[in-house]
Each structure stands twice: as structure tokens, then as C-alpha cells.
Amino acid sequence: MRCILHSDLNNFYASCEILRRPELADVPIAVCGSLKDRHGVVLAKNMLAKSAGVKTGEALWQAKKKCPGLIDVPADFPAYLRVSKAVRKIYERFTDKIEPFGIDECWLDVTESKYLFGDGAQIADRIRNTVKSECGVTVSVGVSWNKIFAKLASDMKKPDAVTVISPENYRETAWKLPASDLLYVGGATAKKLRFLGIETIGDLARADEGKLLQELGKWGKVLFEYANGRDASPVRQSGSEREIKSIGNSLTCYRDLSEEDEIYMLFLLLSDSVSSRLAESGLGRACTVKISVTDNDLNHFGKQGRTKNPTRNAKEIADCAIALFRALKTEGKPVRALGVAVSDFTTAEQLDLFGNTEKEQKIDRADAAISGIRRKYGNQAIQRATVLQDERLSSLDIKGEHVVHPEGKI
């Protein structure tokens, strides 16, 4: 039987800040995005802030209302990445099958390592103690025979703990937890499950599989399997690349956008970044564009649609994005943040039915020339006139400042 670990660095960003500034250890802190550019959202908090009710993802002003003594610290992603890499070097002492799930989480397949280091719980304890002594941060480790339950276990006891979900105890351990604790059960899915009378993972495991398939489609069957511990997905070996399913970028604007031409301007800026990254990826052209919209009341909207023809051109992506935006029912509220992503890639030269091959080739040559200039002189060396209307936005290097998020975030 496989032995899978899920390692989750506790309050990672906050722990890194305390590591650099030990005087913060005894005060509530929150690591936040840039307040200047209105990214003042809590990205991480320490245990003192958490005990005061501070939550990841809420606005800093809300957090400070709950915890008046809260100290906010600007995020330093390069520093966090250095610590993350040091921790992964420790994982490599135990296995080469390591699959990252964001900067602070990894799955490890230690099935073959048991002959050298003991059972899963013993390996997890060795990792936990080594990370703490050598890197100064703590980690919670879940142990199971599959990735889904290993992830579930790592969330059950924090900080600095090891939890085992085994074939012998999973009904008593996992099934009592809320269905929303299961990986990939988001808010919308949890709501649908509650409508079906499914509150816990055990309820999901014992549910009528046909009913789940009817109400949730194929995803209902997948979640049914997960709840029953039937997950055979492998832990990818270090160095192997995960298949890229989408390329996207998003931005919280420094001001609310009310006019459609302003919104289109930001779509163009984002699409330029997406187009450039798509060209560099070698994935070909995209057939689907997806947008995400956040209004000034923090309501979230999303919509996706097919492109007229497969494309990697920024303007065509932006044109598709603004068409999707017009189709959204956002009630005309000012826009705070936008996101653009492309997917469904094809390397086939599927040009339109009217045979505008020459036009497509000219666009490709122009895009290649622009990319060449930007590679040599920087991403802001050449810009669209539309974007230059806003000096603050035109000064942003969205592609250069892009941060990779866990798969499935835009």
C-alpha cells in the first residue's frame, strides 16, 4: 500500500517574517499585499492574530477592527521562496517524489522510503523536527495512503503536528468532518451538497452515487470516490512538469473603474501579459478565454467563452474578454479587480474560414517583434496607446511582477 504525506508549512508568510524579525513573535501580525496599490488583503496571519478572529483573504481594515493591535507587514515573496526551497531540500533527503501544491504545501510519496526511515508517521516526525531545527519554521504533516486524505490529515491538527488517516481509522477520523473540508469542495459545491442533505464527508461517502452524478455531473462521482478514500492519482516526481491547462493574470486596480473604455484598457494590459506568456510557453493558440470580475462591494463574477478562432494575440484576447464582460450581469457597479485567462490550447493552424492566413501571419510577426523589443529593453519599452491614457497603469510591469498561484487560481 502507498504511503503519502502532505506537508503544510504553518502560517508560512507570517512565520517567515517572524524568522527575520523575532520581536514580532509575541504580537499579532498579518502579512498583506501592497496598501498603496489597494492590495491590502490579509495573505497570512500568525496564531495570535488567528485567535483574535483575523482571517486570510479579508481586507486589512476589517482585520484591524477585530484586532486593534494587529501589526501589518508587507509581503516579501522572494524571501518566502528562499525558505520554501530550503524546506524542499529537506524533503529530498527522504524521497524524490515531491509534488508542490503552492509555495507552502507539498505531497511526498515515501512508499519506498519506509525501508530506510520507518513508517509514514515516523518519517513525518523526522521531517517536522528537521524543518523546525534547520529552517526555523514549523510544518504540519498528514499521513495516508492517498493524496486527498493526506491533505485532509495535514489540516486537522496545527501547528507543528502529525496526523494519520489510515484504512483502519478513516471512517472515525475523516467521515465526521464537514464535506467542505475535502479538497476541491468549494463554497458552491458545498452549498449544492447541503441542498442534497450532505453535511459531512461521511454523508458524501454514503450518498447515492447516481444522485450525485445527476446533480453534480462527473464531478459528483469524483467527490464520491474521494470521500471513500479511492484516489490513485500519483505524486509527481521532482523535476516533472505539471501539464499547463491555463495561463492567466489578474490585477486589483488602484482605483475603481466605471467606464467601459477603462475596463477594456485594463483587459488589454492583462491580455498583453497573457499573450506574451502563451507565446513563450510553446502551447500554441488558445480557444477559450475566461474572465473574473470583482466589483467595489467585493462581489465576484466570472464567465468564459470560445474565441472566434484559436489565438494568441493580445487584442483578440482583450476583445473576447470585453465581450464576456458585457454579457455579465454586474448591475453596473464600479470594477475593483479584473482577471483574464486562456485555455484549450491547440498547435494546429486553424485559421478562419475566410482564409485570412496572410493577416494572421502579419499579426504573428508584429507580436514577435514587440516581444523581442520587450525582452531586450523591458516589458514597458513598448506599450499600446490605449494604456498610456492612464499613467499609473501604464507604469505597471504586470508580466514581470506576475506571481504563480496554485493551479486553478486566476
Nearest-angstrom CA–CA distance, 303 and 299: 14
Q: Which of 99, 105, 316, 360 is catalytic?
A: 105
Contact 338, 251 (CB under 8 A): yes
Q: How many residues does the chain have?
A: 410
Contact 205, 227 (CB under 8 A): yes
To the query of whether residue 243 is one of the catalytic residues in this protein, the response is: no
139-144 and 98-100: which strand pairing? Answer: unpaired
Give the H/E segment covering residue 171: helix 170-173
Residues in contact with 349: Cβ distance below 8 Å, sequence separation at least 6, in sequence order: none
- First vs last C-alpha separation in the chain: 36
Q: Count Cβ atoms below 10 Å from residue 251 Cβ, excluding itself.
A: 20
Nearest-angstrom CA–CA distance, 52 and 254: 29
Helix, strand, coil fractions of the chain, as percent rounded to 5: 40, 20, 35
Contact 32, 60 (CB under 8 A): yes
Beta-bridge partner residues of 341: 248, 290
Closest among 85, 105, 139, 123 to 3, alpha carbons compared? 123
- Detail the DSSP E strand segments found in 260-378: 285-295, 300-311, 335-346
Residues in contact with 37: Cβ distance below 8 Å, sequence separation at least 6, in sequence order: 252, 254
DSSP 186: -
Q: Count Cβ atoms below 10 Å from residue 182 Cβ, excluding itself.
A: 23
DSSP 381: S
Contact 129, 173 (CB under 8 A): no
Query: What is the amino acid identity at position 26?
Result: D
Strand, helix or coil for residue 91 = helix
Query: What is the amino acid identity at position 246?
Result: S
Active site residue ranges: 105
